[in-house]
Amino acid sequence: MDAFNENNREGKQLQSLTSLVYLDLLSSVCLMRPFLYSLVFTATLSASSTAFEDEVRPILERSCVKCHGGEKLKGKVDFSKILTEQDADAQFELWKTVVEVLEAKEMPPDDEPQLSDAEKKTIIDWYQKRSQTSIEAKPSVFEPRRLSGPEYRNTLRSLFGFDLEVAVAEAEQTVISDQSLVLKLLPTDPPGASGFINDTHRARLSPVIWDQYLHLSNAALEKLFSKKGRAQLGEFIGTQLPNDWQPVDLSHDQAERLIRRFVPRALRRPAPEEQLAKILAAISGKRGDVLVAATKFELKTVLMSPAFFYRGLLMEGEPGKQQTVDHFELAERLSYFLWEDRPDEELTRLATNGSLRDEQVLDGQVARMLSSPKARNLAQSFGTQWLEIDSLDGLLAKDPIRHHALKTQLIDFLNYLFTENRPIVELIDSKITFVNQGTSGFYGKDRQRMKRHATPKGIERQRTPHQKFELVHAEGRGGLLTMPGILTMNQGPIQRGTWILRRILGVPIGEPPADTPPIKGSPRGKNLTFRERFEMHRSNVTCARCHEKIDPLGFALEGYDKNGQFLLASDRPKKKANEPGKPIDTSGKLPSGETFETFAGLKEILLTQKREPIVRNIVERTLAYALCRKLERSDQPVVDAITQNLCKNDGTWKSLFQQVANSLPFRETIIETANISHE
């Protein structure tokens, strides 16, 4: 009865505690706001400010505000609110687009008064001078960031040594769903301003998420003290527990060792002795079921603390000062970047002895971490989000075998590039691919060299792992752009061209206007190809402006059907004489003047003339993912330096990850206010 009363009292304490911690979190963490960090300009830049307000702004007001200001906001651009140099700096990404459309003569529209050559030169010269002389590399202001769903799942799993899963019986004919209890309970994180779900700065902690955290903490602790968690509990305690060991046998010494090992691992840094002393005092003098309940309560308190499911709240530093992040914060940043998980023991050891900040040590850790199976999370998370690979999920929901084949091929290829130190440009062209029974049909004679998997009796189709495969005879393949998964999820030249612009070249393309007319069919008596019919559509000046960028890229891939089959392969059956159809036209001319006849020709242009913008886009996407935020104007010097280094030295993905990990915004921060106390 005494044990029951004690447990009941502690249950009420936990209920009260969770309410207090939640309210404290809302008042202290969620009220943190980023402030606009003022760039320090030299005296020579005062003239630049005058140039914008006296020379650039009047041009915008005369020629641009009519369509991009006030109530009329085409493209969601509002020049009427950009009044000063500081306003312009706050939207630094906009000016790159402004210069591009001016140089391409896309703006203003033909039916509006045009800018003179002198006016265009004024804007372009101002932008170039501002970009080259006024940007000082600086880290961002620290903001607390809640762990994303996958990060929380991985952190909980590596902390306890087991996963929390939902038992689901799945057949080959069903789409494989993640069986993680964490991901099934927690709401899906929306992409942040960076475009990635780990950018959770604006994702507030809701009562629903709070309740799910409490449920998951309970489930993890119950499993830890169950027979299934016996091995993991023994690891925490530091001894192998006998088979007949029961939780009621927990000794005070074992409970203390459990707490001393669990708490620092959960906090991802050493726990202050004062905090440990308070926890140990709470279990002092207890034994049996009462000791077990008290120990669980204290562990649960740690799991429900903001320091566990928020990043960086325990980071040490001086408010109001630009500074290097502490050793343990650096370990966290590196681990969640490459693994989407908490730091392991080696990272923690290097942070503890202070050597992790050394550039060579950090480079060595990047190499070590890329060789770990956990590094596959880079492809599964970063690669999938950047390239929108998850769009295959809905598209192929009714064909799970094909869905598995196409999606895992892309992830396997990205994982190969990321973890085997391959050159960055192999994203565009590579002799290596990954093939299984579901994708082998796309690779012609090369499929004869793949290893066969025996199909179990009664199974017509099955999921099989991909094999690393060198392309020898396959035509029209090599690199990501011609993989069947990419071609399937982007069906048609417009979608394919838009995807390449946005995801590979990093060119921002807005959504088509709501009143865009549909593509008309062939006139009576004519058998026009889609491309010929589309030429009639884009004769509209308004439509043509966007399609000048999109169409050459998209129509270059017209040699592939909606399923990704290469229609121009020499070993494909030829059409009969009486079958309708015209030769497939894959030629094109880019807005910058380069011409090509086939996709192979376009690929060569991408690898040469367009190499720098492709590498720059990759650097920007990688840095944004690593920093868990949208890039700022002060990040551009870092992007420029890494891009130039990679282009000059034929850089690899490992080199990219190492340079990001050693970059100023990754290693430094500005702390606006004092962090939450350790207690």
Q: Residue 117: what are its φ and ψ, rounded to 5°? A: -60, -35
| Separation of alpha carbons 107 and 98, rounded Å | 9
Q: Residue 168 in contact with residue 179, Cβ under 8 Å?
A: yes
What tokens does 296 get? 């669980």
| SS3 state of residue 465 | coil
| Residue ranges in the chain modelled with pLDDT below 50 | 1-12, 15-48, 676-679
For the chain, what are the domain ranges? 2-19+145-311, 43-133, 380-510+535-572+581-607
| SS3 state of residue 499 | helix
| Separation of alpha carbons 328 and 270, rounded Å | 9
Structure confidence at residue 544 (pLDDT)? 63
What pLDDT, in 10s, does the model give residues 434-478?
999 889 999 988 888 877 766 666 555 678 899 998 999 889 999
Residue from 551, 566, 562 nearest 494 by CA: 551
Q: Residue 592 in contact with residue 598, Cβ under 8 Å?
A: no
State the virtual CA torsion across 83, 89, 90, 92 in degrees, nearest 10: 120
- Give pTM, 2 decimals: 0.85
What tokens does 548 get? 């000048």
Helix (H), strand (E), coil (C) string for 395-428:
HCCCCHHHHHHHHHHHHHHHHHHHHCCCEHHHHC
Residue 559 DSSP code: T
Q: Residue 123 in contact with residue 131, Cβ under 8 Å?
A: no
What pLDDT, in 10s, does the model give residues 519-572?
666 667 676 677 766 676 666 655 666 778 899 999 999 999 999 999 998 877
| Separation of alpha carbons 149 and 182, rounded Å | 7
| Separation of alpha carbons 256 and 94, rounded Å | 57
Structure confidence at residue 147 (pLDDT)? 96
Contacts of 47 (CB under 8 A, 6+ apart): none
| Separation of alpha carbons 341 and 311, rounded Å | 11
Calculate the alpha carbon distances from 604 to 171, 227, 428, 607 in Å.
Answer: 43, 60, 9, 5
| Separation of alpha carbons 568 and 622, rounded Å | 35
Calculate the alpha carbon distances from 500 to 259, 553, 556, 605 in Å.
Answer: 52, 7, 11, 13
| Separation of alpha carbons 302 and 279, rounded Å | 10
| SS3 state of residue 129 | helix
| Separation of alpha carbons 5 and 662, rounded Å | 55
End-to-end CA distance of the chain: 33
Sign of the Cα torsion 471, 477, 482, 484 reads: negative
Structure confidence at residue 481 (pLDDT)? 97
Q: Residue 500 in contact with residue 549, Cβ under 8 Å?
A: no
How many Cα atoms occupy the beta-carbon half-sphere of 496 within 13 Å? 27
The helix (H) or strand (E) run that includes residue 69 is strand 68-69
What tokens does 322 get? 């630009």
What tokens does 390 get? 């998850």
Residue from 155, 143, 151 nearest 315 by CA: 143
Encode burial over 148-166: b for 16+ CB neighbours within 10 A, e otherwise. bbbbbbbbbbbbbebbbee
Q: Facing residues of 72 across strands?
A: 69
Q: Give the other-Cβ count within 10 Å of 533's Cβ.
A: 15
What tokens does 588 get? 């094109």
Q: Residue 338 in contact with residue 657, Cβ under 8 Å?
A: yes
What tokens does 173 get? 């004919």
| SS3 state of residue 234 | helix
